Amino acid sequence: MASPTFDYIIVGGGVAGCALASRLSEALPKDSILLIEAGPEHDARIAPSMGVALSDTTDIQWNHRSVPQKALDGGTVSQTQGKVLGGCAAINYQAWTRGAAPDFDRWASEVGDKRWSWEGLLPYFKKTETFIPPKSGSQENRPDIHGYDGPITVSHVSSSAGGPRNYPLKSMMQDIYDKAGMPFNPDLNSGSPFGYGEYPNNTFNGERKWAATSYKRGPNVTLWDNTQVSKLLFSRKKVTAIEVLPNNHNGTRALVKKEVLVTAGVQNSAKLLLLSGIGPNAELEKHKIPQLVDLPVGENFSDHPFIATFWKVRDRNLALGDMEMISPEVDWTAGVGCDFLSFHRHDDEKTTALAKKTLDGKAIERFQLPGRPHTETLTMHGHIDLTGLLQPPVDSSVFTFFNILVAPSSRGSVQLSSASPEDPPLIDPAIFEHPVDLQLVYDLTRRTSTAIQKSSAVSKYGAVEYAIDEDIRNDLSDEALRKRLLNTVETVFHGSGTCAMGAVVDTECRVKGVDGLRVIDASVFPFPIAAHYQAIVYAVAEQEDVRYYCEDFVSDE
């Protein structure tokens, strides 16, 4: 069979891939676009808000694990990703956060292009969403910074239509945040996310709103699902075709006239570039792959790891797993069982001194960047254990506190395990390797656990921490926190940076040193952003899409 030819080929039908396929097909109706996704087009488990989430191991995920982590005594963590049309947005927890304005302003100044600043990205954050403000803070919301006719419905616990969401432990949660000295923030997506606010999420009426179904594809898009791209082919330095695994789509090769957009996610975009000869010499030589261009592909990888604490309350029928799924007070199927999340900084003397002693150059500048959060907490009404190893107490209502590091200084890598495209990559998120990262997560966990002890969680509900050794229950020393860490550590799956802007791609997301190839996904973040990543990846894809059809598009560089 002759190889089919397309104007554009998009590799990876995740957040960025689906958004780009939709926008390009709308803007360039005469161009042919091939969207290739390694997983299936549909899966009935995705649409319900409580469908696939919380990192179950399923056949619509890559189910990768990290390499042994030095700071975890050789332990490993899940590094799963979505393998289905919609990518991780089909399996994620649906938190919708844009992050802090200073993070993007820093991004723009590091790459020398103000379109990546907060003001530069704001139109695209708006373009993505149909925003439904939280009822709790609507008076103080800023309508000017939200979008009202975008593909993704972004609601809040109090404003998502569908079943009631009066979680029985809600006011207790609020009391904990108050006791932790975290002020209420009426809009976590204003560019200043400090304090706690209602969980913004891309769920409405009990249904996930995600890339694959919310972004419509025009008739000029051809979809090859269940098809994994194994290699990019070049003539001199111009990309000319893609190859797929021999047993996928009859092993058909597809030729490209204009561009290939790699949107395969932070792990697989790097893997594909490396398999195609784009990467560091030493890494390619190890696998006998001829080098096309020498770029630091796969370096600069990071993730957002956490310590979880688990709490059992005295009364029953107050939390997910211990109540009817649908009751007059709460319909657990109406959305993710989470009321609040919050972001914080750590400018205390001890942390600042450690940062100054152990970080330098860009790392210390980023750490000290005013207005950039270092950590986040997220509270869930139930036993939410991502390790899958901790048993909840029988017949009890429980809640979980995630103490998350969102500004890691540690950097790891994504490398090849072999030259075979069928083998998973070697993924090293370097969790908590940097001493400042540990200090931050310990401080946050101390702060939240102390607040819980002082709050109505204990005085009214008799909360007791579980899933820890008896002898450290009241101990919040670094040693005791390390035990909690080793027991509960995972990440919230916010990988980024393996094809960083500035180092691997330019500010148009074009891969340096070759023609006709872009990477557009979470790989291009130059450093970790203090947020959950999907809203940012949508905005990156929306922003990048403008380059293709806006003829009077003028660079401000």
Ligand X SMILES: Cc1cc2nc3c(=O)[nH]c(=O)nc-3n(C[C@H](O)[C@H](O)[C@H](O)COP(=O)(O)OP(=O)(O)OC[C@H]3O[C@@H](n4cnc5c(N)ncnc54)[C@H](O)[C@@H]3O)c2cc1C
Binding site listing for FAD = 84, 229
As given in the structure block, the two tokens for residue 447 are 């702060």
Give whichever of 266 and 318 is closer to ligand X, judged by the CB atom.
266
Contact call for residues 372 and 191 (beta carbons, < 8 A): no
Contact call for residues 169 and 399 (beta carbons, < 8 A): yes
Give whichever of 264 and 319 is closer to ligand X, judged by the CB atom.
264
CA distance 483 to 477: 10
Give whichever of 39 and 412 is closer to ligand X, judged by the CB atom.
39
Give Cβ neighbours of residue 394 (< 8 Å, ≥ 6 apart): none
CA distance 499 to 269: 8
CA distance 136 to 257: 51
Pairing of strands 195-198, 340-344: antiparallel
Give Cβ neighbours of residue 253 (< 8 Å, ≥ 6 apart): 3, 233, 241, 242, 243, 244
Burial code (b: 16+ CB inside 10 Å, e: under 16) for 468-484 equals beeebeeebeeebbbeb
> In the bound complex, what is the minimum distance in angstroms from residue 263's beta carbon to ligand X?
5
> In the bound complex, what is the minimum distance in angstroms from residue 419's beta carbon to ligand X?
15
Give whichever of 10 and 457 is closer to ligand X, judged by the CB atom.
10
CA distance 136 to 197: 9
Tokens 């799924």 belong to which residue? 325
CA distance 256 to 262: 13
Scanning 204-309, the segments in alpha helix (DSSP H) are: 211-214, 265-275, 281-286
Give Cβ neighbours of residue 344 (< 8 Å, ≥ 6 apart): 182, 194, 373, 374, 375, 376, 377, 444
Binding residues: 84, 229
One-letter amino acid at 540 equals V
434 in catalytic set:
no
> In the bound complex, what is the minimum distance in angstroms from residue 272's beta carbon to ligand X?
5
Give whichever of 156 and 179 is closer to ligand X, judged by the CB atom.
156
Give Cβ neighbours of residue 216 (< 8 Å, ≥ 6 apart): 22, 151
Which residues make up the interface to ligand X (CB under 6 A)? 11-17, 36-39, 55, 80-83, 87-89, 91-95, 228-229, 263-266, 268, 272, 493-494, 521-522, 532-535, 537
> In the bound complex, what is the minimum distance in angstroms from residue 109's beta carbon to ligand X?
23
> In the bound complex, what is the minimum distance in angstroms from residue 56's beta carbon to ligand X?
9
CA distance 255 to 252: 10
One-letter amino acid at 37 equals E
Give whichever of 168 and 305 is closer to ligand X, judged by the CB atom.
305
Tokens 């979008």 belong to which residue? 147
CA distance 278 to 239: 12
> In the bound complex, what is the minimum distance in angstroms from residue 495's beta carbon to ligand X?
7
As given in the structure block, the two tokens for residue 257 are 């006239």
532 in catalytic set:
yes
What is the Cα 355 distance to its own chain's centre? 25
Give whichever of 53 and 481 is closer to ligand X, judged by the CB atom.
53
As given in the structure block, the two tokens for residue 13 are 């039908």
Give whichever of 244 and 330 is closer to ligand X, judged by the CB atom.
244
As given in the structure block, the two tokens for residue 184 are 């209420």
Tell me which DSSP letter residue 382 carries.
S
Return the active site residues: 494, 532
